Chains A and B, each alone.
Chain A
Amino acid sequence: MVRFDNVGMRYGSGTEILRDISFRLPRGSLTYLTGASGAGKSSLLKLIYLGHLPSRGLIELFGQDIVTAPRDALPLLRRQIGVVFQDYRLIDHLSVFDNVALPLRIAGTAKADIAAHVEELLGWVGLSDKMRATPPELSGGEQQRVAIARAVITRPRLLLADEPTGSVDPELGDRLIHLFLELNRIGTTVLIATHDVAMMERHRAPVMRLIRGELSIGDH
């Protein structure tokens, strides 16, 4: 599903912030990515969701080498990846419904299907009554649920979450993790970048640790 071999990454002409990263995420796996602030977790996620190209090494997503893939092939790969950003990255002037529907619209889903899927998912994350609200009218937790709904609306093959429980109370955090576990159970590969040790203890899964740009892999 995801394969990294000796990957390095740098911004511009700076020094490498990720070095010799090698790992595999099998199809349907759940994995945690942890490490101190500044260790490179967000940068590693950026490489996986095709927000940046590596400075060296091999990255394969869904069996395709993304370094040599033509530019036109990348959007189709991105559509198979759901990302929950730490800062949500919602579009403030669009309603909750339109934010969540955006990936489906981009993918060309029929209008009737969009309405049905979005309403069902917003019900699932407890935002049925906020469909017409815009992100600035929502609390932080509600915005995060919108971001999660947008990330999973297309049933992505790979789900990346950057500190998904970082700004919500423990109870809501637990509900969100259960949502990820549910998606994982139906075959979605999930990678969660987190500092939340308690959560990792409650829901055991392999852990990748980033220490100053280098990766070590453990059971949990």
Chain B
Amino acid sequence: MIACFQRLRLLPRGALSNRLVPAIIACMVFLLCLAGSAALILHAGLAGFQQELAGRYTVELPADPKGPADPATIARVIDRLALDPAVLSAEPVSTGTMARLLAPWLGRDASLGDLPLPTLIDIAAVPGSTLDTAKLGAALQEVAAGATVAPAVTSLKEIGELAFAVELAALVVVLLIAACLVTVVIFATRAGLAAHLRLIEIVHQIGAFDRQIAGQFSRHFLLLGLAGGVLGFVLSGLLALAVIALAGDAQSPFLPAGTTLRSSLLPLLAVPVAVAMIAGATAELTVRRALRAQV
């Protein structure tokens, strides 16, 4: 019974609200998705960074004036490390890697040959386990005097706290924009409806039930909200993808792979749908309230 009425396009196609509401919603969704993308990319990046650093340890064999530690000593240290069940792998840091790490201080073309550099061995711990650095250090003394073991980053806890603070700040920004978005959608929908109050009165007078009238407006504004939401989402998505592509070009070891970053944005797909539902629900509630004010 209601379907025949609902198929009628009761609301004018050329109404100003048909353009203004989606435009306003598109702007707000663009901002929300942009802030959301930044927060999600930051979260994925920091999570990857922390994961990368957690479980990494370094063995340092002290510098010898005669030159780098001899391969036999290094081999003995690695064999000893292999005996520890918490050690997943142990690899000596190559001269090339050392040169790259020191390049910011020594210059790209500097020769390391004359410098009394320590020999470093990179350890990856078994995921979820922690190395007892004191015990392992003492054991290594038997095969290489002066060898020490330390976590790759001693301030991992502080980095984690900093990451949490940054993510929290990003989340607050996202929530603030989301609150603005909901408010703007509600106001834009109400403003759009204000122009149609006479129409509501006429249809009401002819004998339409409140749910029939509210349904017409709800569907209309749901579609307007969806149009604006999708537009804003697509624009912000393109921008976010461009940023991810740039990050990929940088090949930073601290950034996760592009696919990880792209998939971290998937939750934002819900934004246009949620916005459309808010617009539809606002229209429904506003019309029902306007109708309740009448007989």
Residues of A within 8 A of B (CB): 49-53, 71-72, 74-76, 78-79, 83, 89, 91-94, 98, 102-103, 105-111, 114, 150
Contact = CB atoms under 8 A, between A and B. Distances in A.
A103 B4 contact: no
A106 B207 contact: yes
Contact of A75 (B12, B199, B209): B209
B2 interface: yes
B8 A98 contact: yes
A91 B12 CA distance: 9
B207 A107 contact: yes
Interface of B: 1-2, 4-5, 8, 10, 12-14, 198-199, 201-203, 205-210, 212, 294-295
Contacts, number: 58
A49 B295 CA distance: 10
Contacts of A91: 10, 199, 202
A35 B12 CA distance: 38
A103 B209 contact: no
Given A51-B295, A53-B295, A93-B12, A103 B5 contact: no
Contact of B4 (A53, A92, A108): A108
A76 B207 contact: yes
A49 B205 contact: yes
Q: 9 closest pairs, A vs B, by CB?
A: A108-B1, A79-B207, A93-B12, A78-B207, A105-B5, A106-B208, A75-B207, A75-B209, A103-B206
Looking at B202, B205, B206, which has the most chain A CB atoms within 10 Å of its CB? B206
Given A78-B207, A109-B4, 7 more contacts: A71-B210, A106-B5, A106-B203, A108-B2, A108-B5, A110-B4, A114-B4
Contacts of B199: 91
B12 to A, nearest CB: 4
Contacts of B198: 89
A51 B203 contact: no
A75 B295 contact: no
Q: Which of B12, B198, B207 has the most CB of A within 10 A?
A: B207
A102 B205 contact: no
B204 to A, nearest CB: 8
A109 B7 CA distance: 13
